[in-house]
Structure 1
């Protein structure tokens, strides 16, 4: 059982608890990106099991009339086993999701997976009529070229700053440089994409920049934030813009919870207050 202190960031251990959280979000005009926690499996069996749970999840979402989609990690569905395993399991998920009219996001992991992830996205989004999205990371120097490649494809692209500690020879290490790259990527996307832009950021300055670009170019976009982070802002933004919350669930919640607590001092203070108030 997930302790109450972790419920801010993780929507329980079962699909039922995750979908119940989605219902509460939808009541607040916030959509949900549901993610089964898991990554870096080194055999096909657990990867196939998670892929099967995703297929069941999209069926449940499709039957429920909830405003929700799913997000999967390549290493969760077999990339560490082999590219062929990843492609096969991903296509099983995307095919089921397309039949159920449920959108599928492919998360981006560290730089060693970028090429295979983008190749899989291109194959899936062209085969399944744009029912797939992919994430790109502003801290990688290569990303501008990748975004130019993606501009004419169907589907969606999520722009994030990047959470992995990448080598200095291929990545921007300075915060100001990452912010500059993120701004420039958004500017390119709003000017050259017809739609399908997802702004994955909690940074008020970047969100405001995206809103300004939307007003300048008229390009449709959506905002995406994590469960448990700036939720008041999420609700305020949802009153005017398309807002999506990333909703993780599952038994492998401990490492995810630890990352959320350690990445922002506000999250750490929340946990400390909860402990002291017990």
Structure 2
């Protein structure tokens, strides 16, 4: 069982706990992107175990009637062992999900994995004719070209600002510059992407910008936010827009939890209040 502070950001250690959280979200008209925590595996057995759990999770979601999909990390599916390992495991998951009508998101990790991730996304998206999406990061200088490249791919694109800290020669490091790029990339996506756009942001200004672009271009979009962050806002937005919450679970929750707590002042204050009141 997770400690009281961690359970704000992580849905539990088991698939059953994660799906119970999804049920509660669905009751508030919020959908769920379920992620089994794990990354950077250098052991083939660990890769196979998580891939198998994802396939079981797809079956559980399909059989439950819940409004949910899954999200996988390339390094969790063996990218550190080789692109062939990653492609093979991803393809099996996507094939299983396509057969059960469950959507699959591919998370983006650090900048060194971008080419392998986008190549794999394009391959499975074209093979299935959709049913899959990929994340791109506005702080990377290359993303403007990448989002143009993805315009004709039959899948969704999730745009985030970027949680990693790549070197300045490949990324914008100034926050205002990243915001400017995010706005510009959103505008291009709303104008040129037909498969659907996910606005992965907690920033009210970016969400408002997306709403204005939707009014201008009529492009389908959804808003994606993390579990434990601005949840009241998620419920409010769900009254008018399609909102998805990223729901992580699993035994490897500690590093994810500490990252969530330390990345935002509000999260750190929440954790400190919880500790002081316990």
Q: Same fold (TM over 0.5)?
A: yes
Q: What SS is found at the alignment partner of 2:216?
A: helix
Give the corresponding residue for 1:180: 180
Structure 2 gap ranges (5+): none
1:11 aligns with 2:11: yes
Shift of 1:277: 1.1
CA contact (8 A) 1:10 1:227 kept: yes
Q: What SS is found at the alignment partner of 2:8?
A: coil
Give the corresponding residue for 1:44: 44
CA contact (8 A) 1:29 1:238 kept: yes
Q: What SS is found at the alignment partner of 1:80?
A: helix
Number of positions where the alignment pairs a residue of Structure 1 with one of Structure 2: 278
Counterpart CA distance in 1 for 2:215 and 2:143 is: 24
Give the corresponding residue for 2:209: 209
Counterpart CA distance in 2 for 1:56 and 1:131 is: 18
Q: What SS is found at the alignment partner of 1:135?
A: strand
Shift of 1:193: 1.1
Q: What is the 5 A alignment of 1:123-272? A: 123-272=123-272
Counterpart CA distance in 2 for 1:208 and 1:8 is: 26
Shift of 1:4: 1.3
Q: What SS is found at the alignment partner of 2:247?
A: strand
Deviations 1:39-86 (A, max 9, x none): 000121101100000000000000011000000000001000111000
RMSD: 0.5
Counterpart CA distance in 2 for 1:6 and 1:74 is: 25
Shift of 1:196: 1.1
Q: What SS is found at the alignment partner of 2:42?
A: coil
State the TM-score, normalized to the length of structure 2: 0.99
Counterpart CA distance in 2 for 1:135 and 1:117 is: 9
Q: What is the 5 A alignment of 1:77-92? A: 77-92=77-92
Shift of 1:195: 3.5
Q: What is the 5 A alignment of 1:81-120? A: 81-120=81-120
Q: What SS is found at the alignment partner of 2:12?
A: coil
State the TM-score, normalized to the length of structure 1: 0.99
Q: What SS is found at the alignment partner of 2:109?
A: coil
Counterpart CA distance in 2 for 1:273 and 1:182 is: 33
Give the corresponding residue for 1:65: 65
Counterpart CA distance in 2 for 1:194 and 1:124 is: 18
Counterpart CA distance in 1 for 2:269 and 2:143 is: 34
CA contact (8 A) 1:198 1:222 kept: yes
